[in-house]
């Protein structure tokens, strides 16, 4: 089996962040996945605010700007550290509480924590269509998403 050097890939994300900024790093991570959107959402009070969103189709969506935490998949990512659904409308965990029904169909989210342990917000991939993410990519994101914290307020 082909061994992939995750440290080299992590270093590539680190270089893109340092030399080209958050949006370019989100684009790089989006290119590795099938999701349409890759974003950073900041938790302010009880609302998730989009601070950086990469849309591979380059459309502007106003509904992406702010979402109440309890109406967001991010509530579980923040509480559990990570949350994944490939097909929200078919996910039995979401039968009684499906955030953004009719909008978001797939979601991978990971909490971003400040040095003091409080949540800054989330790194997320999401799409309007069902999407999957490889287990290896999840492991990679677990390693690289904390790098964003050095570039966030």
Q: Give the tens place of pLDDT for each residue, 4-56.
A: 566 889 999 999 999 999 999 999 999 999 999 999 999 999 999 999 999 99
Q: Is the pTM of this model over 0.95?
A: no
Give pLDDT, residue 2.
Answer: 42
The number of beta carbons lying within 10 Å of the beta carbon of residue 26 is: 23
Residue 74 reports pLDDT greater than 90: yes
Contacts of 96 (CB under 8 A, 6+ apart): none
- CATH 3.30.450.40 correct for 6-151: yes
Domain edges within the chain? 6-151
The number of beta carbons lying within 10 Å of the beta carbon of residue 41 is: 30
Give the Cα separation of 8 and 6 in Å (integer): 5
The number of beta carbons lying within 10 Å of the beta carbon of residue 151 is: 13
Q: Residue 73 in contact with residue 99, Cβ under 8 Å?
A: yes
Q: Give the tens place of pLDDT for each residue, 100-127.
A: 666 889 999 999 999 999 999 999 999 9
Query: Across the chain, what does the average pLDDT equal?
Result: 91
């Amino acid at each position: 089996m082909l061994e992939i050097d995750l440290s080299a890939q992590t270093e590539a994300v680190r270089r893109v962040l340092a030399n080209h900024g958050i949006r370019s790093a989100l684009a790089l991570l989006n290119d590795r996945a099938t999701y349409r959107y890759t974003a950073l959402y900041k938790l302010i009070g009880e609302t998730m605010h989009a601070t950086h969103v990469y849309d591979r189709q380059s459309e502007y969506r106003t509904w992406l700007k702010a979402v109440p935490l309890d109406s967001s998949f991010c509530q579980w990512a923040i509480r559990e550290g990570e949350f994944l659904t490939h097909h929200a409308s078919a996910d039995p965990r979401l039968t009684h509480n499906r955030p953004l029904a009719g909008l978001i169909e797939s979601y991978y989210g990971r909490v971003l924590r400040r040095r003091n342990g409080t949540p800054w917000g989330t790194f997320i991939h999401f799409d309007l269509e069902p999407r999957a993410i490889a287990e290896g990519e999840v492991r990679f994101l677990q390693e690289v998403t904390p790098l964003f914290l050095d570039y966030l307020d």
